[in-house]
């Protein structure tokens, strides 16, 4: 038994250490290594609202100068990237190309990206969080001249006039991005059976928030609401045969281990919930502060041609409307806590990536372990 365990460890190490002097990681797992494609959730305020997402992307490998030659103010480019900015419903609204020189670092931010868009594209980027409009979506930056995993990045969620600034690493997709935010150009989804996010709400001040942000590799199957180019809400139907609603569903616990049922919808690719506004009333009868965590499964549930269907995990349970049963998609989650004190010097904010259980062996990735995702009986 000991020999078999040792052989298993050696096999895993041989998969991980597949190069000398280069950082490699396991495909299908959320980790922080250089990648061929970068994904960044972006959120910023409308008008005078100072909330903004800034991010920096760096080139790490310094390959040969690209041919044909592209010259920038910093010198000759070694890679060319293509950026696709998409709204919360995955509609592409803005694109551009960005060259990188050797060991280059390029900075971007949500407000500048919005300013560069047409008025119609800006309207499509709007979402509402508890009655307040924001611009929100995500950007994919693909290396289009090299297959190297050479991009890394850092994200900053900022509201500097109010004293808030916090950060997290960008999502890196090794060996290229798939259509549903998978690694290896689609062969390696970064899955979730469930998420376990933290919440903490210090007080009831207007700038005290606790947002859960979920970025999925596809929209729910059926109907969902999105903004159109004139700024009004419109219902989008991506499938007439299956009308399913996707949510995070499970329990939410306070610090006394009281754990009532809890659920919120994640119909679009980019979703934001204001947790404090949706907490069960019995969870914190004494008022503020409010703290705890949740354990919430990814559940897609509804009707398929008159038959009830329930799917657990970031998984396609049906062969319908462009999906193939048994395939998986990536999904990511963040918990953003900002706590307004009496003065900006005492205010604070943080962003944590959500812990998760992966789906077991998605797309045949046998080294990714977790509960079995799929259609519930």
pLDDT per residue as tens digits for the range 85-102: 999 999 999 999 999 999
Q: Does residue 16 sit within a domain? A: no
| Position 365 pLDDT exceeds 50 | yes
- Residue 64: C-alpha distances to residues 1, 36, 83, 210, 258 (Å): 49, 16, 21, 45, 58
pLDDT band for position 1 (cuts 50, 70, 90): very low
In this structure, what DSSP letter does residue 315 have?
B
Do you find a cis peptide bond into 68, omega within 30 degrees of 0? yes
Is 8 contained in some domain? Answer: no
Q: Does residue 351 contact residue 220 with C-beta atoms inside 8 Å?
A: no
Mean pLDDT score of the chain, rounded to an integer? 93
| Overall domain count for the chain | 1
Evaluate whether residue 6 is within a structural domain: no
24 pLDDT band, cuts 50/70/90, is low
Residue 196 lies in a domain: yes
Domain that holds residue 51: 27-375
Pairing of strands 331-339, 348-353: antiparallel
Residues 185-211 have pLDDT tens digits of 999 999 999 999 999 999 999 999 999
Q: Compute how many other C-beta atoms are within 10 angstroms of the C-beta atom of residue 235.
A: 8
Domain presence at residue 220: yes
Residue 115 falls inside a structural domain: yes
Residue 215 domain-assigned?
yes
pLDDT digits (tens, 9 = 90+) for 45-98: 999 999 999 999 999 999 999 999 999 999 999 999 999 999 999 999 999 999
Looking at the chain, the whole-number percentage of residues with pLDDT higher than 90 is 89
Q: pLDDT tens digit string along 225-236?
A: 999 999 999 999
pTM of the model: 0.92
Predicted pLDDT at 266: 98
pLDDT of residue 346: 86
> Which contacts of 128-131 are long-range, i.e. CB under 8 A and separated by 24 or more positions?
129/211, 129/272, 129/273, 129/274, 130/274, 130/277
Q: What is the mean pLDDT of residues 154-168?
A: 96
- In 3D space, the residue among 152, 138, 228 whose CA is nearest the CA of residue 180 turns out to be 138
Is the Cβ–Cβ distance between 66 and 80 less than 8 Å?
yes
Is position 146 within any domain? Answer: yes
């Amino acid at each position: 038994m000991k020999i078999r365990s040792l052989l298993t460890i050696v096999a895993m190490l041989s998969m991980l250490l597949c190069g000398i002097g280069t950082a490699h990681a396991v495909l299908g797992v959320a980790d922080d290594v250089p990648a061929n494609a970068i994904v960044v959730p972006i959120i910023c305020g409308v008008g005078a609202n100072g909330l903004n997402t800034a991010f920096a992307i760096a080139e790490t490998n310094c390959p040969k100068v690209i041919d044909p030659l592209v010259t920038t103010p910093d010198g000759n480019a070694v890679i060319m990237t293509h950026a696709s900015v998409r709204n919360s419903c995955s509609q592409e609204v803005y694109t551009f190309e960005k060259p990188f020189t050797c060991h280059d670092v390029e900075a971007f931010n949500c407000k500048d990206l919005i300013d560069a868009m047409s008025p119609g594209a800006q309207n499509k980027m709007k979402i509402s969080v508890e009655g307040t409009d924001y611009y929100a979506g995500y950007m994919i930056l693909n290396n289009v001249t090299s297959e190297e995993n050479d991009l890394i990045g850092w994200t900053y969620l900022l509201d500097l006039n109010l004293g808030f600034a916090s950060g997290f690493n960008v999502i890196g997709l090794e060996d290229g991005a798939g259509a549903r935010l998978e690694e290896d150009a689609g062969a390696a989804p970064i899955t979730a059976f469930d998420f376990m996010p933290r919440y903490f709400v210090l007080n009831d001040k207007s700038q005290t928030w606790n947002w859960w942000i979920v970025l999925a590799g596809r929209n729910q199957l059926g109907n969902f609401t999105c903004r159109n180019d004139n700024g009004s809400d419109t219902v989008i139907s991506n499938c007439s045969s299956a009308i399913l609603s996707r949510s995070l569903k499970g329990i939410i616990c306070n610090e006394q281990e009281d754990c009532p049922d809890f659920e919120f919808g994640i119909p679009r690719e980019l979703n934001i919930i204001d947790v404090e506004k949706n907490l069960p009333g019995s969870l914190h009868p004494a008022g503020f502060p409010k703290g705890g965590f949740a354990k919430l499964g990814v559940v897609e549930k509804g009707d398929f041609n008159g038959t009830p269907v329930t799917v657990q995990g970031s998984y396609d349970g049906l062969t319908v409307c462009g999906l193939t049963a048994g395939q998986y998609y990536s999904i990511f989650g963040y918990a953003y806590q900002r706590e307004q004190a009496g003065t900006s010097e005492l205010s604070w904010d943080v962003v944590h990536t959500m812990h998760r259980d992966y789906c077991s062996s998605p797309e045949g990735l046998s080294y990714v372990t977790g509960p079995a995702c799929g259609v519930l009986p």
